[in-house]
């Protein structure tokens, strides 16, 4: 039966993270921005709270949270600082990717170290700046030479790369197979030939975004992960679920941006009354609250459907469709919230004394994280039109739009 309320456990977690976000993440957001990462004491608190292992399944020693719990936590973190989800320790997207594409034994093998060392980071190196002109697939190559793989190439838009203890790197194993010839490799930090160059981005300054260069990086057979027959489908699932977490962050960002703006328009006066008492301003705020309400409910429903798929109570297509709709809506709504927040603050909003300019930059950044709305819309319409899910057309790449993973 329909129920919009989180259960007691979820409520307790939500309260704890909300408190952390309110008392630590939000007040220190500017510091985080300058440091381009969290201060050690913030990291330590988050690790203590168990946030760094939130993405790890039970089989690998993690809490094995339902997806609903995951999105609840992401919203709370993002309401404190939208960069938080990317800047706090933990395997992050690496864990989600491994969980989706590997069997239980390998999942355990790769993720247990993150439970034993909860201050570690992980990253996924997917994107490439330029498409290959002659064929489909990546330019970064993985060749089987002697008794090891040799990787060469440059991956871009990698979140958490320079802090990562382990990276999941995607490279072309078979050129002729084009997008079906892509392989995934686990690359530990410090591997010879691996170099990482951090880049500066528009928003999410606390996140650590970098390019990853691979020069004759040699890897053992065991680091190659593509055994599963439905590999491409698993990859699609990873992208959609990862983007759904982005949508949860977009929801948190909206909340933070709207609430601070609501408070501002109640105190700022013009023409003899608070500017929030003018319809143009109040209606604008109301519309953003409607967006927030819709984003949150859509994200919750989509996350619930993934849990229901796991329990055989919903089909995967239902979960894909609900997720695509939630992602597109939440991303666009976050951008509207960021933009309007600055607008309603007027000139002050443009200044870094107020948090809203950061929200606006972060919102734009989140729109190119996980998946773009163009991609989720294309996927949604293919499901609705009964077309096969041609994963290579639907996932982000230099052939469509690149995203931060």
Partner 1 sequence: MDFLLSDRQKALREGIHGFAASVIRPQALSWDLNAGIPEPFLKQMVQMAAQMGGQLGVSLEPAVAATPDEMSESGEKKKSSANLTALIGAEEMAWGDAGLLLCLPGPGLGGPPVRASGTPEQKERFFGIFKDMSETLAWGAYGLTEPGAGSDVAGIRASCRKEGDEWVINGRKCFITNGARAAWTVVFATIDPALGRAGHRAFVVEKGTPGFGVGRIEEKMGLRASETAELVFEECRIPSANLLGGEESYRSKEGFMTAMKTFDNTRPLVASMAVGIGRAAYEYARDFVKENYLLPRSIPRYAAIAERLAKVGRQLEAARMVTWRAGWMADQGIPNAKEASMSKAIAGQAAINACIEAIDICGAEGTIAGDHRLLEKWFRDIKVYDIFEGTGNIQRIVISKRVIEGLKGF
Which residues contribute to the site for partner 1 (CB under 8 A)? 1-7, 10, 68, 262, 265-266, 274, 276-279, 282-283, 285-287, 289-290, 293-295, 297-298, 300-301, 304-305, 308, 313-314, 322, 324-326, 328-329, 374, 376-378, 380-382, 384-387
Which CB, 171 or 305, lies closer to partner 1? 305
Instruction: Please give the distance of CA 383 from its chain centroid, rounded to a whole number.
Output: 23
For 313, residues 6+ apart whose C-beta sits below 8 A from its C-beta are: none
Which CB, 113 or 274, lies closer to partner 1? 274
CB 397 to partner 1: min, Å: 16
CA distance 350 to 334: 17
Which CB, 229 or 273, lies closer to partner 1? 273
Quick count: other Cβ atoms within 10 Å of Cβ 281?
20
Pair type for strands 121-125 and 164-172: parallel
CB 123 to partner 1: min, Å: 30
Question: 91 and 111 in contact (C-beta within 8 Å)?
Answer: yes
CB 313 to partner 1: min, Å: 6
CA distance 331 to 249: 9
Strand partners, 369: 404
Which CB, 105 or 271, lies closer to partner 1? 271
Which CB, 12 or 387, lies closer to partner 1? 387
CB 293 to partner 1: min, Å: 5
Alpha helices in 346-400 (DSSP H): 356-367, 373-384, 391-394
Strand partners, 207: none
Question: 48 and 106 in contact (C-beta within 8 Å)?
Answer: no
Residue whose tokens read 């490799």: 185
CA distance 330 to 246: 9
Which CB, 200 or 267, lies closer to partner 1? 267
């Amino acid at each position: 039966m329909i129920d919009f309320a989180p259960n007691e456990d979820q409520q307790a977690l939500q309260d704890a993270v909300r408190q952390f976000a309110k008392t630590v993440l939000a007040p220190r957001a500017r510091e985080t921005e300058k440091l381009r990462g969290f201060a050690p004491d913030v990291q330590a608190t988050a690790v203590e709270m168990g946030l760094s292992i939130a993405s790890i399944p039970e089989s690998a020693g993690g809490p094995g949270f339902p997806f609903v719990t995951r999105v609840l936590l992401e919203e709370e973190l993002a309401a404190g600082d939208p960069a938080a989800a990317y800047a706090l320790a933990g395997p992050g997207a690496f864990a989600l990717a491994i969980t989706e594409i590997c069997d239980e034994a390998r999942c355990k093998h790769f993720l247990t170290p993150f439970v034993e060392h909860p201050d570690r980071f992980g990253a996924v190196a997917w994107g490439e700046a330029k498409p290959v002109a002659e064929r489909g697939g990546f330019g970064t190559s993985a060749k089987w030479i002697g008794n090891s793989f040799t990787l060469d190439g440059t991956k871009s838009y990698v979140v958490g790369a320079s802090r990562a203890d382990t990276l999941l790197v995607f490279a072309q194993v078979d050129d002729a197979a084009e997008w079906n010839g892509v392989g995934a490799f686990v690359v530990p930090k410090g591997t010879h030939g691996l170099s990482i160059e951090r880049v500066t981005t528009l928003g999410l300054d606390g996140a650590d975004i970098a390019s990853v260069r691979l020069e004759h990086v040699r890897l053992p057979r065991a680091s190659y992960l593509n055994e599963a027959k439905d590999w491409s489908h698993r990859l699609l699932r990873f992208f959609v679920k990862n983007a759904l977490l982005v949508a949860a962050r977009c929801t948190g960002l909206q909340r933070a941006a709207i609430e601070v703006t609501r408070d501002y328009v109640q105190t700022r006066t013009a023409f003899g009354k608070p500017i929030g008492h003018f319809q143009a301003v109040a209606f604008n705020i109301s519309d953003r609250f409607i967006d927030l309400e819709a984003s949150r409910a859509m994200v919750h429903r989509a996350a619930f459907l993934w849990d229901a798929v796991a329990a055989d109570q919903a089909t995967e297509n239902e979960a894909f469709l609900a997720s695509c709709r939630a992602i597109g809506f939440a991303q666009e709504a976050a951008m509207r919230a960021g933009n309007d927040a600055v607008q309603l603050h007027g000139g002050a909003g443009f200044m870094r004394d107020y948090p809203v300019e950061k929200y606006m930059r972060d919102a734009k950044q989140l729109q190119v994280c996980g998946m773009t709305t163009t991609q989720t819309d294309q996927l949604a319409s293919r499901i609705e039109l009964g077309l096969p899910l041609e994963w290579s057309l639907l996932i982000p790449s230099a052939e469509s739009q690149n995203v931060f993973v």
